[in-house]
Amino acid sequence: MERYLSTAKRYRLLLVAILALVWGTGLAAAYAEYSGTYESQATIWVLRASPELTATNPEDPGLPVIQTVASQQAELLNQLLQTDSFVRDVVMRTSLRQALESAPIQRQYLDGVRRHFRVQTLGTNMLRVSFGSYDRHATAEVVSAAIDVRGERVVEARLAGTTALSALYARVGEVAQAQAIEAQRQLDEFNASHTGALSPADANHQGQLQLGLDFALARLSDLRGRADRAVVAASVLEMSGMEFQVVDRPTEPLSPSGGGRAAALLAGVAFAAGALLVTLLVVCGTLLADHVAGPADIRRLAPARLFATVPRLATAKGPGASDLRTSLAAIAFPDGDATSGRTSR
């Protein structure tokens, strides 16, 4: 541990400069993100009960996954936000339209818009949609446009589903109507050919024909009622607006409020990167110093017989003066065994 502390003290100026550069840059970026990001949000209340409360887990079909109405709607919005067409329709209805049209790569611009959306559930029937941007005038526009485009997409999907269902009911109704007409024809032919008193066998056959006709008419009536309910239910639900109510409309923010999380993330990454970089430099510096300038192993020096010869050099005379060999001997043999004029061999 002392070696690492010694290395840190040796390179303290370099380490301080690195920390100042990395941490300063991170704090500046975090402050710019926090002070320049505006956020607008809308709170939505879903009132209609979900037709399917449980969904199948693809990993384990036998294990049900509980989904509330809010989680279903949040999942729907998140899935729509993953499509470029949905985000493009949202942007084209706001003041960001010119920026999108002038962007060199529109896909990258749409990805940037998509990353600033956030959808979260607040309860079983409540969810919140928020959008952050450096342009405070566009935040409320984008949230409102996302809600409107979502509603239009849902209506289009329901109309397509209703049309397909109506076509199915119409086809099945045609078959049921043909069966009813055929049952009616058979009953009319039987009545026309049996004008007098009916025998027990004829009466039984007439009853079977009448029962078949009644069953065909009842089935035809049921199919027509189902077709009417399928068409009317979706229309009434959309006209009433009870499924998707915006409780708090998005408003234009007056002060920055949406960059707190991103700023904290930038600051945390900068502090972690600075600390990691300093640690790596200290560790690498310590290991490199030990490898290059570390103490020599005496076993590697054992085969040598002559290390150095120190000639006798003349030195200045005076108090405390000594020759070079005496000074080196005093350093090599601090215990006092060395004598003046001895040559190390």
User: Which has more pLDDT, 331 or 178?
Assistant: 178
Share of the chain above pLDDT 70, in %: 69
Q: What is the predicted pLDDT for the residue at 88?
A: 92
- Tell me the pLDDT tens digit for each residue of 208-232: 888 888 888 888 888 878 777 766 6
- Tell me the pLDDT tens digit for each residue of 229-242: 766 665 655 554 45
Task: Kindly state the average pLDDT of the residues 151-172.
Answer: 76
Question: Residue 57 above 50 pLDDT?
Answer: no
Return the minimum-mean-pLDDT range out of 25-34, 98-107, 301-310.
Answer: 301-310
The segment with the largest mean pLDDT, out of 38-42, 126-130, 201-205, is: 126-130
Look up residue 219 and give its amino acid: R
Say which CATH architecture domain 38-258 belongs to.
Answer: 2-Layer Sandwich (3.30)
- Tell me the pLDDT tens digit for each residue of 62-108: 444 556 778 888 888 899 999 999 999 999 998 888 888 888 888 99
Return the minimum-mean-pLDDT range out of 40-54, 98-112, 113-127.
Answer: 40-54
Share of the chain above pLDDT 90, in %: 6
Question: Residue 130 above 70 pLDDT?
Answer: yes
Q: What is the predicted pLDDT for the residue at 90?
A: 92
Question: Residue 184 above 60 pLDDT?
Answer: yes
d(CA 190, CA 203): 10
Q: Where in the chain is the domain with CATH 3.30.1890?
A: 38-258
Return the minimum-mean-pLDDT range out of 67-76, 145-154, 296-305.
Answer: 296-305
For the chain, give the mean pLDDT.
Answer: 75
Task: Kindly state the average pLDDT of the residues 133-156.
Answer: 85
